């Protein structure tokens, strides 16, 4: 109801953000850490921060997300949190026995100036880190960046800490994954397997945040990239990094530290982005593309051809993470839809430039904006000025969808009012078919709901 007060008139905002199209860095750091086997994320800040980050992930994945906290009090906020973190490291290894503690900072610990590297070094000197155990740290203040940059910082920290070059190359390709679902990570490994490639995927949340119900609780599920696998990444022949915002820093670190060359590519969402990913894998691993993958591509093209009449010319508003939006925009343009409004809360000038390049030929009227004031309020204002046929983004778009009567396809993070995203991939050619199926379902449901009696069709 409150969104019905959104105005069409857009006024410049320099400080105010209304309904941001992002969340904070520690959420991303926590998700990346959960993709490493035997790792317990640790929030260096207040209990409230950690509770929010855990609940954000738990609501999306419908799985219990474990994480520890330094539990800052007023005293910690004034005198620093070193004592809290040292005690926490000792307690965690004694009670919960993880292989790794992945410490990320918060607004509070960054504001007071806690030096995570110095504190972790002291913990090691004081004998609080047992032999064979590890503590990795990353700076993730919430007042800059977004969950995507927090994910990138933690991913870089894992590579910096573990990857090691023995000067004996192994026929293995590293895959650095941007923020995608556990189902997508499983699909990436399946594709690599079809190509007979030996790969290491980092991070890997499959079999961590989509575990089966067995009746027995396991704090550290069987999934996740192991320490041995991350260490071996330094001897791989190449790296394929998916998503510039989330993985470039880790790819550069791996190259600088271990001399492993990398190829940046988009997350394989849709037709062309998947083509580029498959080609990058084939070149990196020096293998050919098997017929089974070509057949999967053909099925995606068949669906596009069969249902093109429903896609053609439809105006779409999108919001979410830059690495996910760019290939999705390209996919929509390929099927002759019109992504006219694109918003991302993650800062970075490269995003708007790339998005506008994709849209320049077929959707020159498109509006693209990202950064602090690029929020759901702005997106709603654009929609009020000139409506769209479809909205695509996380759960928070349901309010605009309801108020404006526009079909809505949930994609991205977080999705807290539906299930399926953790179990059905949207990457690769088969994932592309799922995206199309969901778009068609939303559009056709609207056609059915609004068609007059004489135009209500059985076959569509």
Q: Give whole-number Cα distances, 38 to 47, 85, 98, in Å.
A: 22, 19, 5
Strand order in the sheet with 173-176: 199-202, 173-176, 238-242, 262-265
β partners of residue 20: 375
By mean pLDDT, which of 49-53, 71-75, 248-252, 418-422 is the weakest? 71-75
pLDDT at 89 over 70: yes
Mean pLDDT of 59-84: 92
3-state SS string for 9-32:
CCCCCCCCCCCECCCCHHHHHHHH
**CA nearest neighbour of 181 among 343, 418, 411:** 411
Find the helix or strand (DSSP H, E) in which 224 lies. none
Pairing mode of beta strands 315-319, 262-265: unpaired
Is pTM beyond 0.85 here? Answer: yes
Distance CA 156, CA 202 (A): 10
Instruction: Give one DSSP letter per residue of 389-429, joined into a string.
Output: SEEEESGGGHHHHHHHT--EEE-SS---S---TTTS--SHH
Mean pLDDT for 41-53 is: 95
101 Cβ neighbours under 8 A, 6+ residues apart: 39, 40, 42, 68, 89, 92, 93, 133, 134, 135, 136
Average pLDDT over residues 347-369: 97
3-state secondary structure of 87: helix
Read off the tokens for 176. Answer: 């650095």
Token pair belonging to 379: 């997106």
Q: Which of 75-79, 196-200, 343-347 has the lowest mean pLDDT?
A: 75-79
Dump pLDDT digits (tens) for 307-327. 999 999 999 999 999 999 999
> Quick one: CA dihedral 277, 278, 284, 285, positive or negative?
positive
Asked if residue 400 has pLDDT above 80, the reply is: yes
Cα–Cα distance measured from residue 103 to residue 136, given in angstroms and rounded to the nearest whole number? 6
Across residues 236-260, what is the average pLDDT?
A: 98
**Distance between first and last Cα of the chain:** 34
**What is the model's pLDDT at position 74?**
86
Q: Is the pLDDT of residue 329 over 70?
A: yes
Residue 1 has pLDDT above 70, yes or no: no
8 Å CB contact between 430 and 270:
no
Q: How confident is the model at residue 73, as a pLDDT?
A: 87
Does position 4 have pLDDT exceeding 80, yes or no? Answer: no
Percentage helix, strand, coil for the chain under 3-state DSSP, each rounded to 5 = 50, 15, 40
| Strand, helix or coil for residue 86 | helix
DSSP tally for the chain: helices H, then strands E: 18, 13
By the 8 A CB rule, do 223 and 205 touch? yes
Is residue 90 scored above 80 in pLDDT? Answer: yes
User: Inter-axis angle of helices 322-334 and 244-258, to 10 degrees?
Assistant: 120
Q: d(Cα 252, Cα 279) in Å, to the nearest integer?
A: 21
**101-141 confidence digits (pLDDT tens):** 999 999 999 999 999 999 999 999 999 999 999 999 999 99
CA nearest neighbour of 251 among 202, 205, 180, 181: 202
Task: Give the model's confidence band at 83: pLDDT under 50 very low, under 70 low, under 90 confident, else very high.
Answer: very high
| The two three-digit tokens of residue 203, written as one number | 């991070």
φ/ψ of 329, rounded to 5, equals -60, -45
Instruction: Tell me the two tokens of residue 173.
Output: 């390709």
Q: Quote the mean pLDDT of the chain.
A: 96
Q: Quick: pLDDT tens for 138-165.
A: 999 999 999 999 999 999 999 999 999 9
Give per-residue pLDDT as tens, 406-416: 999 999 999 99
pLDDT given for residue 2 in this prediction: 59
Whether 34 and 41 have beta carbons less than 8 Å apart is answered as: yes
Calpha distance 283→40 (Å, rounded): 35
pLDDT at 5: 82
Q: Which pLDDT belongs to residue 12?
A: 87
Encode burial over 75-103: b for 16+ CB neighbours within 10 A, e otherwise.
Answer: ebeeebbbebbbebbbebbeeeebbbbbb
């Amino acid at each position: 109801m409150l969104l019905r007060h959104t105005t069409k008139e857009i006024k410049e905002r320099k400080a105010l953000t209304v309904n941001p199209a992002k969340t904070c860095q520690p959420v991303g750091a926590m998700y990346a850490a959960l993709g490493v086997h035997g790792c317990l994320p640790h929030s260096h800040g207040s209990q409230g921060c950690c509770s929010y980050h855990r609940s954000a992930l738990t609501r999306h994945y419908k799985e219990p997300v474990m994480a520890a906290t330094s539990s800052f009090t007023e005293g910690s906020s004034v005198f620093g949190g070193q004592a809290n973190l040292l005690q926490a490291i000792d307690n965690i290894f004694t009670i919960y026995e993880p292989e790794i503690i992945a410490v990320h900072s918060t607004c509070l610990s960054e504001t007071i100036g806690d030096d995570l590297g110095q504190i972790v070094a002291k913990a090691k000197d004081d004998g609080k880190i047992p032999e064979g155990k590890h503590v990795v740290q990353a700076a993730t203040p919430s007042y800059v960046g977004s969950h995507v940059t927090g994910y990138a910082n933690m991913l870089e920290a894992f590579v910096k800490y573990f990857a090691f070059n023995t000067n004996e190359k192994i026929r293995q390709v590293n895959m650095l994954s941007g923020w995608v679902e556990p189902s997508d990570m499983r699909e990436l490994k399946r594709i690599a397997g079809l190509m007979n490639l030996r790969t290491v995927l980092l991070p890997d949340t499959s079999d961590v945040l989509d575990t089966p119900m067995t009746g027995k609780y396991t704090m550290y599920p069987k999934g996740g990239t192991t320490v041995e696998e991350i260490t071996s990444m330094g001897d791989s022949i190449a790296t394929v990094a998916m998503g510039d915002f989330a993985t470039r820093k880790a790819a550069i670190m791996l190259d600088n530290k271990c001399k492993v060359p990398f190829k940046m590519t988009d997350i394989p969402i849709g037709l062309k982005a998947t083509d580029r990913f498959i080609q990058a894998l084939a070149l990196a691993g020096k293998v050919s593309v098997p017929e089974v993958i070509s057949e999967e591509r053909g099925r995606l093209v068949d669906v596009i051809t069969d249902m093109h009449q429903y896609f053609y010319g439809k105006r779409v508003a999108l919001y979410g993470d830059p690495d996910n939006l760019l290939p999705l925009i390209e996919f929509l343009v390929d099927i002759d839809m019109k992504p006219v409004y694109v918003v991302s809360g993650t800062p970075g000038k490269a995003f708007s430039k790339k998005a506008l390049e994709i849209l320049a030929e077929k959707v020159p009227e498109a509006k693209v904006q990202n950064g602090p004031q690029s929020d759901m309020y702005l997106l709603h204002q654009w929609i009020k000025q000139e409506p769209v046929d479809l909205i695509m983004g996380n759960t928070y778009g349901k309010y605009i969808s309801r108020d404006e009567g526009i079909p809505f396809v949930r994609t991205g993070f977080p999705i807290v009012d539906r299930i399926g995203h953790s179990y059905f991939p949207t990457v690769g050619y088969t994932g592309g078919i799922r995206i199309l199926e969901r778009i068609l379902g939303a559009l056709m449901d609207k056609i059915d709901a609004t068609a007059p009696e004489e135009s209500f069709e059985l076959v569509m």
